[in-house]
Chain A
Amino acid sequence: MIRERTFVSLLLALAFTCSLVCSLADSAHAEPPPRRSLPPQAPLVFVIDPKLGTEAGIRSADSFGRVLFHYDEAIPAFVTFNEKTALGKTGAVIGRSLQFLLIDDPLASFETTAIHEVFGHGSRARALGQQVKFDFALPGIYCSVLTDGDNCTSHAQVSTATGNRDRDLLVVMGGVEANFLTAHWINLRLMRANGWAHQGDLVVYLSSKLSYASSFLSTRLDTAGGLETPSDDIDRSVTLLQDRFNLPRPEDRYRISSRLRTAYLWNLADPMLAYSIYGVLYRGIWRGERMTQAPMPSIGKTTFYAAPRFNLSPFGAEHYVDVFLARGRSVVTLYGRAGSSGLATYTGAGVRALGLEVHDRLSLGGELDVWSQPETLLDDRAVYERPQRRGLNVGLSADLRLFGGVGITGRLAYKTGGYLVGQPIDEGPYGYLGASIALDRAR
């Protein structure tokens, strides 16, 4: 067993080296956009908030991931393939495929998993007063190859059986909620970058959007505990929804899960998801482009883009339509949302602006969200019928550049009680503060 594992490890190391040498050489060969023509890029943002909340965590983890994904720029080219020949093209594609398999995908997998566990389940659990621990499996292919491969699932050790289903639902659904919100933030970033995306952005986008896709789409969801992984979040979520809405019968579960399965198609009907697949497979692996520009409609200097967004809320599936409007570094996004679970009535709308320049060194942002949804009760047991409540979230953000591209950034918001994706559940002020690094301006 040890010999076999050592042999596999050696093969893996060899493949890793080969992929690094070949792909980096190939990347060097591929034509990057001329530096002077690089579009504005969204700044790197490293922020924290007192409660280690979801949004601050996502933005920081996303920025950290972006830095890591530029690993190839730090390594010189070793080999140049002539991709005009069949042999050269084959070698380059193999190299880039290995690069994807051995580096890009594990990096994206780790980032997505960290966001899922630490800033999804973890943030919700911490906000509800739980102590949280994490178990991380090796990312991507490394878990399958270097461990026994029986369980490559990472875990947040949280309680999802507190007896209060609102709490349990928030914690269980927090993982995919954070992943879906990550995809939304990548969309926002790409809008600020006029559609320019690094391969890492596209891989993380794919990984975030397709988190638990097999569970959402599985007919095994129709039976409680039907999905093989005992801690499957989606399986557990449907079970908790059954309990929360007092629908315990098998036929109730089938109705909830089949509706959720259908609703999940909304998540897949996403132009950016399609572009990410195209961008990774064709532009990245086949053509060797590390930076690609997604096509964005525009009128004059204003770029616009509309996309569906999906979320799993404590009331069931939630459908958004996002409209992005961007000009220069400024972006405004509007959304409307509605639920389709049939368990409750939950709707909302909002607007958010980022990077509105009021001075060469100062840009501001703002946000407004409104919603109507069943009352959230975190301290009551087995309350099935709830009054409908309206809620409001308002906030301001600012980014002050101090020297070069480095500055401070922050957000201060206030919301009433109720569910808003990625934000605290309680009523009160919240926000985060940290550093921002404007990459394009730093140059």
Chain B
Amino acid sequence: MALTEGADGDVVIMSLSGSAGDAGAGDAGDADAGDGDADADAAAPRPAFVAPSVSVSVVSRAGSLRLTHTFAPPSALAARRGSTASVGATFTSDAALFHWIETTRTTAADGATTTSAAPKLARVGLDGSESPVAAEPALACSRCAIKTEYAAVGGTTAAIIREDPDGTAPTSARPRTRLVAFDASGTMTALVDIASFAGAGVDPAPPSGPSPLGAAGGVSSDPARTSRLYARHGHFVVMVGRSAAVFDTSLALVAGPWGLPTPATEIDVDVALGELDLVWSGSLSQGDAAAAANVGDQPDLLFESRRVSGPSRVAPRRISTSARALLVQRNAGRAGVLHASGGSVYFTLVGDDGNKVGGDLPLPTGAPEPAEMLGGGAVSAAGTAEASGRAQLLFSVDRAHFVVWTAARDVRREVVTCDP
């Protein structure tokens, strides 16, 4: 299940359901996943792949249900029985754009096996209409595995696509990560090499599915979060390693890139406002490990606010102690922060001057455990979505911060307002 922010404070709830079998979307990107290779699974053959449908619910900020619809998988995806990975979808106002990766394993005469992979997309409308499957040859690769992460802004869907050479590739082969844009029918409209902003020396880890902030986003299945893509204020925010940048829907660089304190930094960027907020778990006492380790029982939770172009507006400062920063979002001059500490999830408010307002507000019982949040909104297409209970979303309307999360089969919401 994934939560994304829609227009006017709407919450878009997406989930994959009905998938099963060896496609192993939860293992998406794994070169062996989904190919039903006999050598690995001869003793215990996996059941055939079943394409998942996508359920979408749109809930207004007042809690009323605006839309609920289940998109059946496109026929091309539904027809597959294996060798299918990274199944997911993004949602626009009138359609779901399904995406998946088809893999092919070839065994040569000498017994060596190689894997090739190709991302595919297909649109399914609210009326059930389907577009032809889009497969961009430039995105396919041989002797490789592919991992993807998708998000959507309006009618544009973007993806981080990473290729990793498999074991048979030449040793000179390097991983390659690209940012790609697709139109509503899944046709590629723009492509950017991630190294162009993340630095040529950067070897970004695989992407992972949408950040919980994904604002018009999608659902996916890759578990890691070291490369992230999400939509915010009509732009795509891309985070790779210790770099982050903002792109428009044509993938033109709008702002950044910025260096991040740690790869696990959470950011909120408002290009129109010209501000960038960062929150991360670390230490202000760099160089004094003893002091840093003893002041709090957990690492410091640090906050910084920067100008999109220019120096820091609020220098890094400690706002709490926490094992993990989860989210940050600015609203009406104040930044709401979600973080996990000691088995609980807390909301912390930071004023425009960087000073903390009040204390840490614990989310009520039923909030996701930190360990469950690691997926950051990603869901498995292998049938675990209903039990994952790990997606969460922080957004704001007026002067209220809304924290929404999924727990088991429920979607729960906490509204935080502070006076004045």
What residues make up the interface of A, taking CB atoms closer than 8 Å to B?
161, 163, 223-226, 239, 242-243, 246, 248-250, 253, 377, 380-385
Inter-subunit contact B321/A243 (CB<8 Å) = yes
Bound: A249/B320 CA distance, A: 14
> Chain A residues with Cβ under 8 A from B360's Cβ?
380-383
Q: Which of B291, B294, B318, B346 contacts A381 (CB 8 A)?
A: B346
Least distance between A233 CB and chain B CB atoms (Å): 14
What residues of A have a CB within 8 angstroms of the CB of B359 in the complex? 377, 380-383
Residues in A whose Cβ lies below 8 Å from that of B362: 381
User: In the complex, which residue of chain A has the Cβ closest to the Cβ of B346?
Assistant: A381
- Chain A residues with CB below 8 A from B291, complex form: 223-224, 248-250, 253
B290 touches A248 (CB 8 A): no
B-side contacts of A225, CB under 8 Å: 290, 293-294
**Complex: how many Å from CA A425 to CA B151?**
52
- Assembled-state Cα–Cα distance A376/B189 (Å): 59
22 A–B contacts, CB within 8 A, in A order: A163-B297, A223-B291, A224-B294, A225-B293, A225-B294, A226-B290, A239-B294, A239-B295, A246-B356, A248-B292, A248-B295, A249-B284, A249-B285, A249-B291, A377-B359, A380-B360, A381-B346, A382-B320, A382-B356, A383-B359, A385-B355, A385-B356
Contact at B285–A248, with CB atoms within 8 Å?
Answer: yes
Q: Is the CB of A250 within 8 A of B356?
A: no
Cross-chain contact A223 with B284 (CB below 8 angstroms): no
List B345-370 residues whose CB lies under 8 Å from chain A.
346, 348, 355-356, 358-360, 362
Q: Give the residues in chain A near B296, CB-CB below 8 Å.
A: 243, 248
Contact indicator per residue, chain B 279-299, by CB within 8 Å of chain A (1) or not (0): 000011100101111111100
Please count how many residues in chain B sit with their CB below 8 Å of the partner chain's CB atoms: 27
Q: Are A246 and B297 in contact (CB under 8 A)?
A: no
- Residues from chain B with a CB closer than 8 A to the CB of A381 are 320, 346, 359-360, 362
| B300 at interface by CB-CB < 8 Å | yes
Q: Which 3 A-B pairs have the closest CB atoms?
A: A383-B359, A224-B294, A381-B360
A163–B362 alpha-carbon span in the complex (Å) = 12
Does B333 make an interface contact (CB < 8 A)?
A: no
Instruction: Please name 4 further chain A to chain B contacts, defined as beta carbons within 8 Å, in addition to the given A246-B356, A383-B360, sorted by A numbering.
Output: A161-B297, A249-B284, A249-B285, A250-B285
Return the contact of A223 from the options B290, B297, B300 (Cβ within 8 A). Answer: B290
Contacting residues, chain B, for A161 (C-beta < 8 A) = 297
Tell whether, in the assembled complex, residue B297 and residue A383 are in contact, meaning their CB atoms are under 8 Å apart: no
Do A250 and B321 have beta carbons less than 8 Å apart?
Answer: no
User: Given the complex, which residues of B lie within 8 Å of A224, measured CB to CB?
Assistant: 290-291, 293-295
A325: shortest Cβ distance to chain B, in Å?
A: 44
* Interface presence of B128 (CB below 8 A): no
Minimum CB–CB distance for B44 against chain A, Å:
46
Contact between B285 and A384, CB atoms less than 8 A apart: no
Q: Is the CB of B290 within 8 A of A383?
A: no
